[in-house]
Chains A and B, each alone.
Chain A
Amino acid sequence: MHEVSLVAAWVEQIGELAQKEGFDRVLAVRVKVGALSGVDPSCIEFCFPEVTRNSVLEGSKLILEYVGVELYCDLCHKISFPEDPSAIFCIYCHSGEVVIRQGKEFKVIDLDVL
Chain B
Amino acid sequence: MCRDCGCDSANQVAHFVQLVEVPRKLRLEQFVLAKNDRIARENRAWFEKQGMRVLNLISSPGSGKTLLLEKSAQFLRGESHKFKMAILTGDQEKDFDAQRLKAAGAEVLQLNTLSSCHLDASMIQKQLGIFVRPDLPLLVIENVGNLVCPAAFDLGESQKIALLSTPEGEDKPSKYPLLFHEAALIVLTKIDLIPYLDWSLELCEQHIRRVNATAPILHVSAKTGEGMERWFEFLKTGKTA
A binds B: yes
Task: Please list the residues of chain A having a beta carbon within 8 angstroms of any beta carbon in chain B.
Answer: 1-2, 4-6, 9-10, 13, 17, 21, 23, 27, 31, 36-39, 85-89, 95-97, 100, 104-114
Q: Which residue of B lies closest to A85 (CB)?
A: B177
Task: Please list the residues of chain B having a beta carbon within 8 angstroms of any beta carbon in chain A.
Answer: 21, 23-36, 115-118, 148-149, 151-152, 173-175, 177-178, 181, 209-214
Bound: A96/B212 CA distance, A: 6
A residues less than 8 Å from B173 (CB atoms): 86
Contact B32–A109 (Cβ < 8 Å): no
Contact A114–B21 (Cβ < 8 Å): yes
Which 6 residue pairs across A and B have the least CB separation, nearest first? A96-B213, A86-B174, A38-B148, A86-B177, A88-B211, A2-B149
Knowing A111-B26, A112-B25 are in contact, say whether A6-B213 is a contact too (CB < 8 A). no
Knowing A110-B27, A114-B21 are in contact, say whether A87-B210 is a contact too (CB < 8 A). yes
Contact A38–B21 (Cβ < 8 Å): no
A residues less than 8 Å from B25 (CB atoms): 110-113
Knowing A38-B148, A109-B29, A113-B26 are in contact, say whether A5-B116 is a contact too (CB < 8 A). yes
A-B contact pairs, 13 of them (CB 8 A): A6-B33, A9-B32, A13-B35, A17-B28, A21-B26, A36-B181, A85-B177, A96-B209, A107-B28, A110-B26, A110-B27, A111-B28, A112-B26
Contact A107–B210 (Cβ < 8 Å): no
Contact B23–A10 (Cβ < 8 Å): no
Q: Which residue of B lies closest to A112 (CB)?
A: B23
Knowing A85-B177, A89-B210, A95-B213 are in contact, say whether A1-B115 is a contact too (CB < 8 A). yes
Bound: A27/B213 CA distance, A: 45
Knowing A38-B151, A87-B210, A88-B212 are in contact, say whether A106-B31 is a contact too (CB < 8 A). yes
B residues less than 8 Å from A2 (CB atoms): 117-118, 148-149
Contact A108–B32 (Cβ < 8 Å): yes
Q: How far is the CB of A42 from chain B (nearest CB, A)?
A: 15
Other A-B pairs beyond A13-B30, A86-B175, A109-B28, 11, CB < 8 Å: A10-B32, A23-B24, A31-B32, A36-B181, A38-B148, A39-B152, A86-B174, A106-B33, A107-B30, A108-B30, A113-B24
